[in-house]
C-alpha cells in the first residue's frame, strides 16, 4: 500500500471562526482532489472505476470545474460563464471526453475556476444572498454555498480515493 501525503495541504484549524473554518475546509478538499490526481499519467487519469460507470479522476476535475463555476460564478455572482463541458444535449460531458481533451487543460480550468471562486467569495459576507438565479428557484446565501461545496468535494474525494487506489494502490486522507 502506498500512502499519499502532501506537505502543501494545510489541515483546517480546530478553533477557527466560522469564515476561516469554511474557507479552510473548502481549500483542504480542493487540495485533497489535487493530491488524488498527482503523479499519474494522462492514461491513468482517464481510467474509470467499474463498468458501466464513466467516472474518472479527469472527469471529477472537469465536473468540479463546472460546480465551482455554477455555484460561485453563476449563482452567487451572476456572471455569464458558459459551461465548459456539459450542455442540455450532453449533460454528462464532464465525464465524457475525447482524445483532444487533456489533463493539462482540465487542471488549468479547474484551478482558474477555484481561483475566481475565492475572489468572488472574499468580498462577501456569509449572509450575502446570491445575485444570480438557480434552476430550483430557491435563494441561497454564501454560507449555504460554502457548506454545499465542502460536501460536494468531500463526496467526490471519496470517489477519487477509490479511483486512485484502483489505479496504483495509493491511499490517503
Residue 134, Ramachandran bin (φ over 0: left; ψ between -120 and 50: alpha; else beta)? beta
Name the pLDDT band for 51 (thresholds 50, 70, 90): confident
What pLDDT, on a 0 to 100 scale, did the predictor assign at position 9? Answer: 80
Distance from C-alpha of 49 to C-alpha of 52, rounded to nearest angstrom? 9
**Shortest CA distance to 131 belongs to which of 67, 78, 81, 79?**
78
What average pLDDT does the segment 67-90 reach?
Answer: 96
Distance CA 85, CA 140 (A): 25
Mean pLDDT calculated for residue range 29-57: 94
Q: What are the residue ranges of helices labelled H in the chain?
A: 18-37, 42-46, 57-68, 103-122, 142-168
Determine the 3-state secondary structure of 170 from DSSP.
Answer: strand
Q: What tens digit of pLDDT does each residue of 96-124 get?
A: 999 999 999 999 999 999 999 999 999 99
Better pLDDT: 107 or 170: 107
Count of domains observed in the chain: 1
Residue 105's alpha-carbon distances to 10, 25, 61, 85, 101, in angstroms, are 25, 25, 10, 12, 7
Query: Would you state the pLDDT for residue 60?
Result: 98
Chain mean pLDDT for the chain:
94
- Average pLDDT of the residues in 62-87: 97
Determine the structural domain holding residue 61 and report its residue range: 2-171
Lookup result for grid cell 476535475: 61
Question: Three-state DSSP class for 2?
Answer: strand
CATH value at residue 21: 1.20.120.450
Average pLDDT over residues 118-136: 96
Amino acid at each position: 500500500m502506498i500512502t499519499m501525503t502532501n506537505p502543501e495541504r494545510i489541515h483546517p484549524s480546530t478553533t477557527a471562526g466560522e469564515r476561516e473554518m469554511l474557507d479552510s475546509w473548502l481549500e483542504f478538499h480542493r487540495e485533497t482532489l489535487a493530491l488524488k490526481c498527482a503523479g499519474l499519467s494522462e492514461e491513468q487519469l482517464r481510467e474509470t472505476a467499474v463498468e458501466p460507470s464513466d467516472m474518472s479522476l479527469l472527469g471529477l476535475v472537469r465536473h468540479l470545474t463546472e460546480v465551482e463555476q455554477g455555484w460561485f460564478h453563476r449563482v452567487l455572482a451572476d456572471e455569464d460563464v458558459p459551461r465548459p463541458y456539459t450542455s442540455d444535449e450532453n449533460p454528462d460531458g464532464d465525464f465524457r471526453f475525447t482524445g483532444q481533451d487533456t489533463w493539462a487543460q482540465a487542471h488549468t480550468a479547474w484551478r482558474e475556476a477555484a481561483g475566481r471562486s475565492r475572489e468572488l467569495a472574499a468580498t462577501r459576507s456569509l449572509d450575502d444572498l446570491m445575485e444570480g438565479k438557480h434552476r430550483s428557484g430557491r435563494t441561497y446565501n454564501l454560507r449555504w454555498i460554502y457548506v454545499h461545496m465542502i460536501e460536494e468535494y468531500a463526496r467526490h474525494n471519496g470517489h477519487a480515493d477509490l479511483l486512485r487506489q484502483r489505479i496504483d494502490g495509493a491511499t490517503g486522507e
